[in-house]
Structure 1
Amino acid sequence: MGATTTAPPPPAPPVPAPPRRAGRGRAGRFGRLDARVSPYLYIAPFFLLFLVTGLFPLGYTGWVAMHDWDQIMGKGEFVGMANYVDVLTGRGFWRALANTVSIFLLSSVPQILAALAIAALLDRNLRAKTVWRMGVLLPYVVAPVAVALIFSNLFADRFGLVNALLQTVGLDPVRWHSDRLASHVAIATMVNFRWTGYNALILLAAMQAVPRDLYEQAAIDGANAWRQFWSVTVPMLRPTIIFVIITSTIGGLQIFDEPKMYDQFGRGGADQQWQTLTIYLYELGWTRADFGMASAVAVLLFLLIVVFGIVNFLLTRRIAHDEGRRT
């Protein structure tokens, strides 16, 4: 018998390629572009608003500060740094700066200490703690003008309630509006009344983020409540405390409402004994109609705030670096 040969199977028909969708490459490029551009579009409204309401006024103020600007006639001649020289060589700027720093120290230091103590109390297991937490924020809700009017009467020289209480314990009345240091204490008391509760809630939020295991370990090691506060709570709150200090500093440099409303004239006292930088700026711009010098004071105030912001950045980075090395 002869050999039987088997014919090879016929080749399989080619599988047709899926139809190419029109515009697929274009859609892919659009998707990649959307992924790259969309985040910038989302944050663009903020920066545009900041450009209009922040950077442009700041740049325009710096431009006005180098001109002899008149309120009625408008743009004047270019004077360069003459306005800055007049401000820095004048007595009014340094007196206002000293008043501002004095009021800031008398307000911020007790304010932060009191806020830290209040936050520690609110962090404990109190009954109706929500009511207490809302209560410490009530002074912040009150209008600054109302607070200033009330406290200016409380600290009145002749008929004030504070002097009446001092006389009941045998002390002489204090001239709260005439004496420079006494007026600073009165204005700082207004600031503390409004902002202590607000800062206390910020510190309280940071306290509640502290792990409770640390307190349990400290209690096992024999640490009492006071030792736990200084050895556990305060070190964990250092970044928040720095934030509160810097925001209080910036607010203290910009203080205006309380000293402005402390008397009926709003000029910082008869001898400018409590005139702050912002009141001095206001007087230059609207009373003396010297927009050039007022703008120079505004720029100098901005530079002071920038300095404190840089200090805040350096301190925060140093703390983060030290904590990273410990871990």
Structure 2
Amino acid sequence: MSTVTDAPTRTRGRRPDDDRPPRRIGLSQRLGTWDVKLSPYLYISPFFVLFAITGLFPLLYTAYVSMHDWDQIMGQGEFVGLEHFRFVLGHSDFWVSLRNTISIFLLSSVPQVLVAITLAALLDSNLRARTFWRMGVLLPYVVAPVAVSLIFSNLFADRFGLVNAALGLIGVEPIRWHSDPLASHVAIATMVNFRWTGYNALIFLAAMQAIPRDLYESAWIDGAGRVRQFFSITVPMLRPTIIFVAITSTIGGLQIFDEPRLFDQYGRGGAGSQWKTLTIYLYELGWTQSNFGRASAVAWLLFLVIVAFGLVNLAVTRRIADTR
């Protein structure tokens, strides 16, 4: 009995072109792959290039200058190593300036952040003419620092200042704002807070508006009041913004120069260095005494102080933001 054989059939699921060698990736496809991988780095590279030119290079060059006898006219001198650092650390003006800088920084940055968060919470509520109030808090930031310093130096004048006149109405003796160290620090910190509180409040306001409203509605249903919502929802959700504002306030507060220099007509930080900051001390060493080596040493010590306070602020703000 004969059997009929079927025609040769192919294996199921196998295509006739499966035996062909794999096709090579073309140049256009390679370029497309490289574009996906490299384009994000190319987009952010201008910032790092500018930072290397305007930030990193001056920082390293300042370290190089601090180890040489550098004169304003003659230029680079002999290598002295850490001699300038030893001189600065052994000089009383440095420690007085450091004390004044930290005091003004604490009197300005800490209240500034607290008031800015409170102000942002008020601006985030249902206010009439909200745009007007939000733009109004930014007006002090627009005013030039020189104008702010001149106005506040007259407000805090020792004899005819408006602040002492107002204190006299309630029976308080006139305060010597330009003689007492703590009083001068309070006056200068008031200038700083006047300029920067509204600016930081708008940063906090933008972060608050990004918080999902469902969280507040759920908390309201559960019986949480506005104060409880603020500390249990708003503050924890603002953790990255609080860290950012605290660090930027630290950097700006420790580098303060315009306000203390313009607090009086001489610009030397007071007759007894009552409010002389590290930046004013650095300026005197570099331009008054023409000793760029010692001025560069002060600049590097200020950089280390800023880094130390920045790390402390980072740890503190994280602990505060984590509290419920």
Contact 1:239 1:319 in 2 (8 A): no
- Listed as ranges, the matches of 1:1-327 within 5 Å are 25-311=26-312
Farther off after superposition, 202-211 or 91-100: 202-211
Deviations 1:120-145 (A, max 9, x none): 11111000000000000000010001
Contact 1:239 1:316 in 2 (8 A): no
SS of the aligned residue for 2:69 comes to coil
Percent of pairs with identical residues: 74
Deviations 1:216-241 (A, max 9, x none): 22222222222222222222223322
User: How much does 1:57 deviate?
Assistant: 1.0
Farther off after superposition, 211-220 or 302-311: 302-311
Distance 1:172 1:316 in 2: 38
TM-score, scaled to structure 1? 0.85
Q: Which runs of 5+ in 2 are unaligned?
A: 1-24
Aligned CA distance change for structure 1 residues 37 and 93 (closer, same or farther; 3 Å): same
Farther off after superposition, 34-43 or 135-144: 34-43
User: How much does 1:36 deviate?
Assistant: 4.5
Q: Which amino acid aligns with 2:134?
A: R
Q: Which runs of 5+ in 1 are unaligned?
A: 1-23
Aligned CA distance change for structure 1 residues 288 and 184 (closer, same or farther; 3 Å): same
Aligned CA distance change for structure 1 residues 208 and 267 (closer, same or farther; 3 Å): same
Distance 1:143 1:267 in 2: 21
Aligned CA distance change for structure 1 residues 145 and 28 (closer, same or farther; 3 Å): same
Distance 2:107 2:58 in 1: 32
Contact 2:211 2:237 in 1 (8 A): yes
Farther off after superposition, 108-117 or 210-219: 210-219
Distance 1:237 1:72 in 2: 51
C-alpha RMSD of matched pairs (Å) = 2.5
SS of the aligned residue for 1:157 comes to coil
Aligned CA distance change for structure 1 residues 223 and 43 (closer, same or farther; 3 Å): closer
Distance 1:313 1:173 in 2: 39
Aligned CA distance change for structure 1 residues 182 and 292 (closer, same or farther; 3 Å): same
Contact 1:163 1:174 in 2 (8 A): yes
Aligned CA distance change for structure 1 residues 216 and 37 (closer, same or farther; 3 Å): closer
Aligned CA distance change for structure 1 residues 307 and 165 (closer, same or farther; 3 Å): same
Farther off after superposition, 278-287 or 198-207: 198-207
Contact 1:96 1:276 in 2 (8 A): yes
User: How much does 1:28 deviate?
Assistant: 4.3
- Displaced runs of 4 or more, over 3 A: 24-44, 308-320
Aligned CA distance change for structure 1 residues 214 and 42 (closer, same or farther; 3 Å): closer
SS of the aligned residue for 1:69 comes to strand
SS of the aligned residue for 1:47 comes to helix
Distance 1:127 1:85 in 2: 59
Aligned length in residues? 303
Distance 1:238 1:265 in 2: 42
Distance 2:241 2:44 in 1: 26
Contact 2:239 2:318 in 1 (8 A): no
Contact 2:215 2:233 in 1 (8 A): yes
Distance 1:208 1:279 in 2: 40
Distance 2:212 2:290 in 1: 57
Q: Which amino acid aligns with 1:89?
A: G
TM-score, scaled to structure 2? 0.86
User: How much does 1:38 deviate?
Assistant: 4.2
Q: Which amino acid aligns with 2:288?
A: T
SS of the aligned residue for 1:230 comes to helix
